[in-house]
Amino acid sequence: MFSSNKNILAAALTSVLLVACSNQQHAQNNEKILWDFESDAYQSILKVENGMAKELNQDGNQQLLINFDSKDNHVSGFEFHSEKGWNWQDQGHFAFALDIGNSNAASIHVYATVKDKQGKTHNRSFVIPEQSQQTYFIELKGPDLDVETGIRSNPPSWQSDYVPVIWRWGSKNLNLAEIVSIKFSIRGVLEDKSITVDNARLIYPKAIDNNYLTHLVDKFGQSTRVDFVNKIDSEEQLRQISEQEQKTLTMRNFADRSQFNGWKDGPKLKATGFYRTEKYQGKWTLVDPQGYLFFSNGIANVRLANTSTITGYDFDHSLIKAREEGDLTPEDSLGLNRAPKIAWPTREVTSELRANMFSWLPAQTDPLADNFGYRREVHTGAIERGETFSFYRANLQRKYQTRDEEKLMKKWRETTVKRMQSWGFTSFGNWIDTGYYDMQNYPYFANGWIIGDFKTVSSGNDYWSPLPDPFDPVFKQRTDITVKQIASEVKNSPWCVGVFIDNEKSWGMMGSTENQYGIVINTLSRHANESPTKQAFMTHLKAKYTNIAALNKAWSSQMADWSELEKGVELDDFSQGMIDDFAQLLTLYAEQYFKVVKQSVATHMPNHLYMGARFADWGMTPEIRSAAAKYADVVSYNYYKEGINEDFWGFLADIDKPSIIGEFHNGAIDSGLLNPGLIHASSQADRGKKYKEYMLSVIDNPYLVGAHWFQYIDSPLTGRAYDGENYNVGFVSVTDIPYKPLVEAAKEVNKQIYPRRFAN
């Protein structure tokens, strides 16, 4: 609640005087105060969602205390809002800044969104450390916003005493003449949060660092600018740390584990020789091949595929021609390797910006040149294709002192399995190097993507790619090819828990009819001759409605005949009858997709669980979830928040199906990396704390049968080659050194998985 019993005119006059005083205080820092909360004038622009703001006077300084009802609400926050908008287009290089205090014992991950009148959004995030008071700024105009670096979050370009808020997504360049809102929100947390805010203002850089993108990376792939625990200075140090770690590792599971990492000390259910699901004492669970209760806590993406970064170099067209003619080795997990059949083609700089980020890259004659590769195309980045380099793999060569591929990968895999067992994990997660399949000593999940020249549909988002048209016969053919390939890799192994097919497709988003039913709306706009899904929709509607007049009545539309709908219609005025049919058509589409995949898995991998398509929390709808639950053995979700919040996850009770978290993580910048990841922690110690909180919320949920951390290895500092992700989200660093606070947290959680979930 706000205190607002003062005279409005007096408050306005007081505000002018106090702002003038505040401006004098901040003038020496070249700052412009917007709202300092010394009067009630700010109330007309401040909105609080699922929380309460009140004025707080400390030592003569008035600020706002904002208490968030975040435990019981998936989203809470506050925003400064103006229908008219603020005109900041003549400010030069500037940022919006805010003083924020956190007196709690827990850090707070915060999302920041700036919006202009045209609806474009500029989205960032940051962490407020526990028991801290700092100033945070959102750069809104500056040279960094106009350059594509191929890194998700660049190093700071400003010389400033304040904390920059990290870039996430959206538009980097808004209409600065009409900024209508600046919003700060908290999402998916397990406890109520509170902060203090003060001195909303515009700030300007003391100076711009023109070399902020130069020589970021040392020869080990580490930051050249930040010191941190276990930063490597020599190959000898790298090997010494490795040798010390090897002495602590074992090849033994925790004492309460079965051969397949089920709960040996618990009840023994029906054994089938493979993993399966069962509801036991009101809780969904996996059951291992020997019949023991099994909970899957694992690490995903244990492979070298995402360890490469774009170097800024490329080659003449003879490289591409030679590859197409078969004179080069095929693309492997690192990219396109050098081949002995032809001379290495001319190498040239295609991006000086990227090339200058590295203080060292090996010469072509250096043994470490084995770790160069090639990417033919990228999802996002500074250049469309080019040479790559894996510092992580180079560090493995340094550590194990071998260039022999087979020996190197054998040593890496053996060490990784020892770590998983010593740390108490029960399985790997998704996206595992297939070499682990053949080891036949640790539970894993297989995976595959259905790709091919089948027809597609669009949800209107299509972030990674358009969606498949499951009514196209080619889709079924390609699905069978994909699953057959996975089956040939798995070889009917009892160590394979199940198989994930596809990942984070843009099925639809909640919030509006257009977003939720984009697949249906966009498909209805197409001609039936070009879309098998459109034909299926037409068949459904004709069966439901006896004639076009009946459909027009339900939809409040005026179509002349069925042929008009068959040719395609643009819909933007949605009646309730229309929305009801959209829900049925979306269900029809989704059930066809999951049915085709399920039938293929049942045919070619009958002993293994179908784990679904790993929904992103931003890209799913109730219809999609229900369709997955109808056909998948386990429904999978990638959920990057601080924990399993009941306000968001209530639908699990509705579908009543075993479910699993396919991805989650957190990270911090005290590792030397530029971006913590999708969830920010304040330090490596805080990473461990947040890990425990997330995992315990999963273990305590009766519908969730596991959770997988993404990922095993930190992203490259200069961004993974595919899309620039540069996150500190690994259990191990680029030098393959484990983060001890995170490892210790995992051990603590893993010791109590089964007693906590099943003993009570």
Residue 113 lies in a domain: yes
pLDDT at 345: 63
Q: Are residues 70 and 197 in the same domain?
A: yes
**Is the pLDDT confidence value at 102 over 70?**
yes
By percentage, how much of the chain surpasses pLDDT 90? 87
Q: Are 545 and 551 contacting, i.e. CB atoms less than 8 angstroms apart?
A: yes
- Please, where are the H alpha helices in 639-736? 646-649, 651-655, 684-699
Listed residues 187, 208, 229: the one ending a domain: 208
pLDDT tens digits along 249-261? 988 889 999 999 9
pLDDT at position 139 over 70: yes
In a domain, 195, yes or no: yes
- The SS3 call for residue 273 is coil
pLDDT band at 324 (very low <50, low <70, confident <90, very high): low
Residue 278 carries which side chain, given as an amino acid letter?
Answer: E
| Residue 154, domain member (yes or no) | yes
Q: What is the pLDDT of residues 402-429, one digit of tens each?
A: 999 999 999 999 999 999 999 999 999 9
Contact 12, 38 (CB under 8 A): no
Q: Report the mean per-residue pLDDT for the chain.
A: 92
Rounded CA-CA distance 591/598 in Å is: 10
Say if residue 203 is in the same domain as residue 312: no
Q: What is the DSSP string of 20-62?
A: HHHHHHHHTTTEEEEE-SSSGGGGGTEEEESEEEEEEEETTEE
| Confidence label for 337 from pLDDT (cuts 50, 70 and 90) | very low
User: Number of structural domains, the chain?
Assistant: 2
Q: What confidence score (pLDDT) does residue 30 get?
A: 79
What confidence score (pLDDT) does residue 41 get?
A: 85
Report yes or no on 332 lying in a domain.
yes
- 101 falls within a domain: yes
**pLDDT, tens digit, 9 for 90 and up, residues 556-582:** 999 999 999 999 999 989 999 999 999
**pTM score, whole prediction:** 0.92
Residue 335 confidence (pLDDT) above 70: no
Evaluate whether 737 touches 241 at the Cβ level (below 8 Å): yes
**pLDDT band for position 58 (cuts 50, 70, 90):** confident
Question: What angle do the packed helices 684-699 and 740-758 form, to 10 degrees?
Answer: 10
pLDDT at 462: 83
Q: Residue 317: its pLDDT value, please? A: 54
CATH number assigned to the domain comprising residue 92:
2.60.120.430
Looking at residues 522-532, what average pLDDT do you find? 96
Could you tell me if 203 and 336 lie in one domain? no
DSSP conformational letter for 292? B
197 with 345, same domain: the answer is no
Structural domain for 407, as ranges: 308-411
The pLDDT, as a whole number, for residue 760 is 67
Q: Higher confidence at residue 302 or residue 320?
A: 302
Domain boundary among 371, 386, 411: 411
For residue 608, pLDDT over 50 is answered with yes
Q: What pLDDT score does 19 carry?
A: 39
Q: Per-residue pLDDT for 204 more than 60?
A: yes
* Residue 652 burial (10 A CB sphere; 0-12, 13-18, 19+): buried
Residue 729 lies in a domain: no
Mean pLDDT of the region 297-312: 96
Do 69 and 178 fall into the same domain?
Answer: yes
Residues with Cβ within 8 Å of residue 700, at least 6 apart in sequence? 644, 756, 757
pLDDT of residue 60: 86
- What is the structure's pLDDT at 381? 87
Task: Render 359-425 in DSSP notation, one character per residue.
Answer: S----TTSGGGGGEEEES--SSSSSSSEEEEEHHHHHHHHHHT---HHHHHHHHHHHHHHHHHHHT-
Residue 463: pLDDT band by 50, 70, 90 thresholds?
Answer: confident
The verdict on residue 712 lying in a domain is no
Whether the predicted pLDDT of 7 surpasses 70: no
pLDDT for the residue 325:
57
Amino acid at 596: V
- The DSSP code for 700 is T
Positive/negative CA dihedral, 472, 476, 482, 483: positive
- In order of 134, 157, 175, the CA distances from 93 in angstroms are 21, 11, 14
> What's the pLDDT score for residue 15?
36
DSSP SS3 for 501: strand
Q: Is residue 321 in a domain?
A: yes
What are the tokens at 348? Answer: 């040239």
Question: Tokens 């990492």 map to which residue?
Answer: 261
* Token representation of residue 274: 């493979």
691-707 CB burial, b ≥16 within 10 A, e <16: bbbbbbbbbebbbbbbb
Burial of 406 (0-12, 13-18, 19+ CB in 10 A): exposed
Q: Judging by beta carbons within 10 Å of its beta carbon (0-12, 13-18, 19+), is residue 248 exposed, middle or buried?
A: exposed
Residue 571 CA, distance from chain mean position: 32
The secondary structure of residue 633, as a DSSP letter, is S
Choosing from 352, 383, 411, the residue where a domain stops is 411
Residue 28 pLDDT > 70: no
Q: What value does the mean pLDDT take over residues 332-341? A: 38
